[in-house]
């Protein structure tokens, strides 16, 4: 029963207050929920930001800065993980698929990591997936991935490699052969996103076995499978993640009142299964920060 670090994913690109009115939106709300999640047992917080006026996903460096500064003022030990996921979406116009539609947000790799270079968090995500995502397509080409990896690591930040399907792990293994990464890869196996890894124990075993032997990995699920996959990841040798990015329900018919409540439930599950939670300081050692 190995110790595990728990990442709390506060808010992503898709959950809305129409689904759960307790979703954090403003920088103050995000920072407050991050600090409360840390008190509940999270060693790492994964951060997206939203435009407070529209509640839509944003890449505004000032919003990220406010969240990071608020967290660091209160808890300088908590591991901060910033997303770089925005900037890879292509929405083909129905009349001419070469013309970008209104949901397209494709950006050059340097622009996708601007906030990471400015704020130097502990970790930044690095997506390897090219896949159908909702009604659009997410595109991450090898040149873009290599450039983002170079910039992230050049800033002294640890990349967290996001893996949505087996092809992504094939790309990871190719990049490992190219010596792109300076340390053993820190990976997240994402299950439950439609057209990607299915949230089943068999899937997680398969994905785990494809990883480089040195990989430090977390497996997690979305929606109704968030808590079951958390348990599966720990039992299969991985670390864990939970939060309102991945699910908006604490239990059937019960909306999550906060990210901290989700972390508290996860901590109880892990304790009952015999897996001790790492502190933020212990997670820093385990990850090699």
**Buried/exposed 231-267: b ≥16 CB within 10 Å, e otherwise:** bbbbebebbbbbbbbbbbbbeeeeebebbbbbbbbbb
**Buried/exposed 12-25: b ≥16 CB within 10 Å, e otherwise:** bbebeeeebebbbb
* Domains of the chain, start order: 6-287 (3.20.20.70)
- The predicted pLDDT at position 140 comes to 96
Q: What pTM was estimated for this model as a whole?
A: 0.96
Split the chain (289 residues) into runs of 10 and give each run's mean pLDDT.
96 91 97 98 98 95 98 97 94 94 94 98 97 92 98 98 98 97 97 96 98 97 96 98 97 96 98 98 97
- The predicted pLDDT at position 60 comes to 96
Backbone angles phi, psi at 78, to 5 degrees: -60, 130
For the stretch 67-118, pLDDT in tens is 999 999 999 999 999 999 899 999 999 999 999 999 999 999 999 999 999 9
Q: Scanning the structure block, which residue is given the tokens 């494809």?
A: 210
- The predicted pLDDT at position 14 comes to 84
Contacts of 242 (CB under 8 A, 6+ apart): 6, 7, 8, 9, 220, 226, 227, 230, 262, 263, 265, 266
């Amino acid at each position: 029963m190995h110790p595990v670090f728990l990442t709390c994913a506060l808010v992503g690109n898709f959950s809305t207050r129409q689904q759960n009115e307790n979703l954090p939106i403003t920088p103050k709300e995000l920072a407050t929920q991050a600090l409360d999640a840390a008190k509940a047992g999270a060693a790492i917080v994964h951060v997206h930001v939203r435009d407070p006026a529209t509640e839509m996903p944003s890449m505004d460096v000032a919003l990220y800065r406010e969240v990071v500064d608020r967290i660091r003022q209160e808890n300088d030990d908590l591991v901060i993980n910033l997303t770089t996921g925005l900037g890879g979406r292509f929405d083909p116009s129905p009349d001419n698929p070469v013309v970008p539609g209104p949901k397209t947000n494709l950006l050059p790799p340097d622009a996708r990591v601007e906030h990471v270079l400015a704020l130097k968090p502990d970790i930044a995500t690095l997506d390897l997936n090219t896949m159908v995502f909702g009604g659009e397509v997410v595109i991450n080409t090898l040149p873009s991935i290599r450039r983002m990896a170079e910039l992230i690591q050049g800033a002294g930040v640890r990349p967290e490699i996001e893996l949505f399907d087996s092809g992504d792990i094939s790309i990871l293994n190719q990049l490992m052969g190219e010596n792109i990464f300076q340390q053993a890869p820190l990976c997240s196996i994402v299950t439950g996103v439609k057209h990607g890894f299915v949230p089943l124990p068999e899937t997680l075993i398969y994905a785990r076995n494809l990883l480089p032997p040195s990989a430090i990995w977390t497996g997690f699920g979305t929606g109704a499978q968030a808590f079951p996959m958390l348990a599966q990841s720990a039992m299969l040798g991985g670390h864990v993640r939970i939060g309102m990015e991945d699910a908006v329900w604490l239990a059937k018919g019960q909306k999550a009142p906060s990210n901290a409540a989700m972390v508290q439930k996860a901590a109880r599950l892990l304790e009952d299964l015999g897996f001790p939670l790492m502190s933020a300081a212990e997670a820093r050692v385990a990850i090699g920060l």
